[in-house]
Amino acid sequence: MSINKSYAVFGLGRYGTAVAKELANSGAEVLAIDNNQAIINDVADFLPICRCADITDPAVIEHLGISNIDTVIIAMANNLEASVMATALCKEVGVKEVIAKCSNEMHKKILLKVGADKVVFPEFESGLRLAKNLLSSGFVDVIELSKNVSMVEIDVKKEWLNKTLIELNLRKKYGLNVIAIKNDQEVIVNINPETKLNEAMKLIVIANTDKLTKLI
């Protein structure tokens, strides 16, 4: 798989390592950073671009070229000060997307206030799942039901607008089984196949994972 986006992962605990490893294994360019040299030594075999550095230092952020990274994942929920500083510095240098791991609601509010684009609670979203969602361009969310089958929430593609599910025949074309439609905050399970799709809708579908790559 060819991944056009670049990623950086700050903090290589269990969560950060899982994110970085999955991204790297999928062919993405990943810069992995931790301030513990022993941890860097442990991950160097499977994370080829890793650095021991203090990411709360503006000079380090500049030296590492973080401004050129598309998405930064800050996986240091146990260190509020460091995660807040890293988030603020990344946004200051122009990182497009900063995703920060948080430990509680107050932490979440602070991170959003200083510029985080998304916050994740590790007990609800594993590092592996976050990585898969990042790699699945065009998918809102991905949940693996098995090794080969996933349930995903996807946006309505432009070419699907103002067409019905009967007209699109997504099962035949993509192998997608539409199980629900989200319309704003409403989830419609009893689907009328003659309803015309609009850009505010999202489709919840189940499909073989290899079929989903056709949508990327």
Question: pLDDT for 68-80, tens place per residue?
Answer: 999 999 998 788 8
Pairing type for strands 71-74 and 6-10 reads parallel
Digit-coded pLDDT (tens) for 79-100 = 888 999 999 999 999 999 999 9
Digit-coded pLDDT (tens) for 14-40 = 889 989 998 998 888 999 999 999 999
Helix axes 105-113, 80-92, angle to 10 degrees: 20
Residue bearing the bigger pLDDT, 69 or 107: 69
- The strand pairing partners of 11, in sequence order, are none
Q: Is the dihedral of CA 201, 179, 141, 148 positive or negative?
A: negative
Q: E strand or H helix at 40, and its extent?
A: helix 37-43
Q: What is the mean pLDDT of residues 193-201?
A: 90
Q: Name the nearest CA neighbour of 116 among 79, 89, 78, 153.
A: 89
In this predicted structure, the answer to whether residue 140 has a pLDDT above a threshold of 60 is no
What domains appear along the chain, each with residue ranges and CATH number? 6-135 (3.40.50.720), 139-215 (3.30.70.1450)
